[in-house]
Structure 1
Amino acid sequence: MNLEMQRFKAEFFKALAHPLRIRILELLGEGDKNVNELQTLVGSEGSAVSQQLQVLRAKNIVSGTKEGNKVIYTLKDPMIIELLAVAKQIFNNHLVDTITILDKFKEDEEEPVTPKN
């Protein structure tokens, strides 16, 4: 059972492992959108957005509903937005740690070296 969960998680995170897919999910977190709306918002070609939406659909992360001649995309689970927010917080934590280390190096470089007798 544990191995199945680990495989699910690995496949799930693989599906998130593309900057354009992350951006699409962030935009869908603001509300449902069709491909044209997503293209405009991300400033990307339709084929790129469509390809990434196919990956997200195949992994059941988003769903599409046909409305007239358009397909409206929605998040299958709104907790995706919470997951992305946690990822952002982890990034910020790492950034703070990196800045702290850099500040320490800077302080060490600024300290005068006193010769030993």
Structure 2
Amino acid sequence: MNLELQQFKADFFKALAHPLRIRILELLAEGEKNVNELQTLIGTEGSAVSQQLSVLRSKNIVNGTKDGNRVLYSLRDPMIIDLLNIARQIFNNHLIDTISMLDKINDDKNKEFEVEE
């Protein structure tokens, strides 16, 4: 794999590396929205939403289309939805592994406690 492609991937994932940007993408997966709609749904200041949209636009992750005096934002590539879903599955797998490990530790501690009594 060439260095340019690796750099593109690194920059792409850096653009996703912010909770507010992830939330924006999740909302845009439902359909296009303007800054005010995103602000209302997220419950944060418009300037914060605008700033994060700017990052996503600069990395060509979202598109902005003029609609009168507002801009409607949408996902540039619908495969972003798949990427977010896969990330959620990976997170869930890690969570399941962690829960299993904690259950085993608790079982072992309970067995030790039973033996001591």
TM-score (norm: length of structure 2)? 0.95
* Offset of residue 102 of structure 1: 0.1
Structure 1 unmatched ranges of 5 or more: none
Q: How far apart are the structure 2 equivalents of 1:75 and 1:100?
A: 36
Give the counterpart letter for 2:70 in structure 1.
K
In structure 2, what is the equivalent of residue 16 of structure 1? 16
In structure 1, what is the equivalent of residue 109 of structure 2? 109
Q: How far apart are the structure 1 equivalents of 2:40 and 2:70?
A: 15
TM-score (norm: length of structure 1)? 0.95
Identity of aligned residues (%): 74
1:2-13 to structure 2, matched below 5 A, reads 2-13=2-13
Q: How far apart are the structure 1 equivalents of 2:29 and 2:97?
A: 29
Task: Give the alignment's Cα RMSD to 1 decimal.
Answer: 0.9
User: For 1:56-108, what per-residue CA distance to the aligned partner results, in whole angstroms no more than 9, with x for missing partners?
Assistant: 00000001011110000011000001000000000000000000000000000
Q: How far apart are the structure 2 equivalents of 1:2 and 1:107?
A: 48
Number of equivalent positions: 114
* Offset of residue 113 of structure 1: 3.3
Give the counterpart letter for 2:72 in structure 1.
I
Q: Name the SS for the 1:32 alignment partner.
A: coil
* Offset of residue 4 of structure 1: 1.1
Q: How far apart are the structure 1 equivalents of 2:65 and 2:92?
A: 36
1:1-117 to structure 2, matched below 5 A, reads 2-111=2-111, 112-113=114-115
Q: Name the SS for the 1:73 alignment partner.
A: strand
Q: How far apart are the structure 1 equivalents of 2:35 and 2:92?
A: 31
User: For 1:28-79, what per-residue CA distance to the aligned partner results, in whole angstroms no more than 9, with x for missing partners?
Assistant: 0000000000000000100000000000000000010111100000110000
Give the counterpart letter for 1:64 in structure 2.
G
